[in-house]
Amino acid sequence: MKKNFVEELRWRGMVHDVMPGTEEQLNKEVTAGYIGFDPTADSLHIGHLVQIMTLVHFQRCGHKPVALVGGATGMVGDPSGKSAERNLLSEDVLRHNVTCVHQQLEKFLDFSGLNGAEMVNNYDWFKEFRFLDFIRDVGKHITVNYMMAKDSVQKRLETGLSFTEFTYQLVQGYDFYWLYENRHCKLQMGGSDQWGNIVTGTELIRRKSDGDAFALTTKLITKADGTKFGKTEGGNVWLDPKKTSPYKFYQYWLNVSDEDATNFIRIFTLKTKEEIDALIAEHTATPHLRKLQQALAQDITITVHSAEEYEKAVKASNILFGNSTTEDLQGLDEDTLLALFDGVPQTTISRSLLDECASVTDLLSVTTGNLVFPSKGEARKMIQAGGVSINKIKLADPNQKASFELLQGKYLLAQKGKKNYYLIKVD
């Protein structure tokens, strides 16, 4: 027997609003439902994962998920939750972004079978829609009073709202109408800030087609400490490994608080209630082992990237925080190596300068511009004490030749004490 979709989201703490009749519709028949993704970048980020997981649960409960990539609405700009109007993107940029988003969504959803997922782009039905036709066939059905009453509009009136943004809810409403008429789509889902736009669509369907359509929104994710979910000092945490390395992605989830991990593991994994309850009990008994964070980071890194990238991230973490060997370090690819040591002091020297370097003492002081040690004397003293290594090889003789196999053919990693790392690039 298929799971009840709304109940599945409820126990996971994801539901915000459900339009009356929605649950009855889903229990009555296999239903097509959609969520829109705004292609303002060529990658989704973890802020989109709630909606992606909503579609995943929707499909697992036997229904048909439709992912709408807003090639047309991306040219307009949604005012919901925004304090200012954003820059509009060109058609070429949007087309590229749509292609990239499509590829990422394919990793989560099954596009085969009776309830196989479907991807649509609203540019396909808007590109030939003339302005006069739109205001005649769509605009006349929704009053200005109705549009003005929306929170997304009210919050922007003081700072200024362009006509372009004001009409966004009509454009999104027409998406729902088009999908209702052409894809038998009876449900739209989204974040709680989308409620006003979604119900405009249900209203348009009622007025134009005398049909019943439904709405469900999920809670916006907040972190326990009040900081914004999905943001780091470096910005968004992206799903594209070129924008956020798998190692940094893994570390983001590994470092969430206990309270957030308890919340996130319900939302961002497919683990059952029994599995999650057992994990929480285990974590409560031994919180220092961070079992919840480890399970969360493993599950979501494998889903977004791969088991191989997850293993690489774990090995990279052990290099910083556990016992590791030279072989472990040499096994890192360049992207992971640079991500792992992003932020540590770095310098670049020429290969000829390395070849001419008399000793490791010189290398760690004058040759690298005193990167690791301010003087030869201090370098010599700490090497003799056994507190210095290069590429995880502990140095014993201050006068030994600076001859080491370069990582990725161009890097040396110096370590002073347990926690101080320095990256030397050899050009």
User: Which residues, in sequence order, are bridge partners of residue 235?
Assistant: 232
Distance CA 376, CA 363 (A): 9
Q: Give DSSP secondary structure letters for 122-165.
A: THHHHTT--HHHHHHHTGGGS-HHHHHTSHHHHTTTTT---HHH
- Burial environment of residue 248 by CB neighbours within 10 A (0 to 12, 13 to 18, 19 or more): buried
Active site residue 48: yes
272 classed as catalytic: no
Radius of gyration over every alpha carbon of the chain, rounded to an integer in angstroms: 27
DSSP category for residue 241? T
Q: Is 2 part of the annotated catalytic residue set?
A: no
**CA 153 to CA 145: how far, in whole Å?**
11
Query: 356 burial class (0-12, 13-18, 19+ CB within 10 angstroms)?
Result: exposed
CA angle 232, 237, 240 (to 5 degrees): 155
List the catalytic residue out of 228, 273, 394, 410.
228
- The catalytically annotated residue of 16, 17, 25, 40 is 40
Catalytic residue status for 228? yes
Options 25, 164, 232, 330, the catalytic residue: 232
Residues for the chain: how many in total? Answer: 427
Contacts of residue 405, defined as CB under 8 A and 6 or more positions apart, other chains included, come to 330, 391
**Structure tokens, 50:** 């709630």
Choice among 22, 38, 42, 48 that is catalytic: 48
231 catalytic? Reply is yes
Q: Which two tokens stand for residue 127?
A: 């590109």
Which candidate in 22, 167, 169, 172 is catalytic? Answer: 172
For this structure, is 351 an active site residue? Answer: no
Q: Which of 137, 193, 240, 335 is catalytic?
A: 193
Burial of 240 (0-12, 13-18, 19+ CB in 10 A): middle
Judge contact between 204 and 177, C-beta under 8 A.
yes
172 is catalytic: yes
Known catalytic membership, residue 40: yes
Catalytic site residue 184?
no
Q: Among this protein's residues, is 86 annotated catalytic? A: yes
Q: Supply the DSSP symbol for 291.
A: H
- The alpha carbon of 114 is separated from its chain's Cα centroid by a whole number of angstroms, namely 29
Q: Which of 231, 271, 381, 392 is catalytic?
A: 231
Active site residues: 40, 45, 48, 82, 86, 172, 193, 228, 231-232
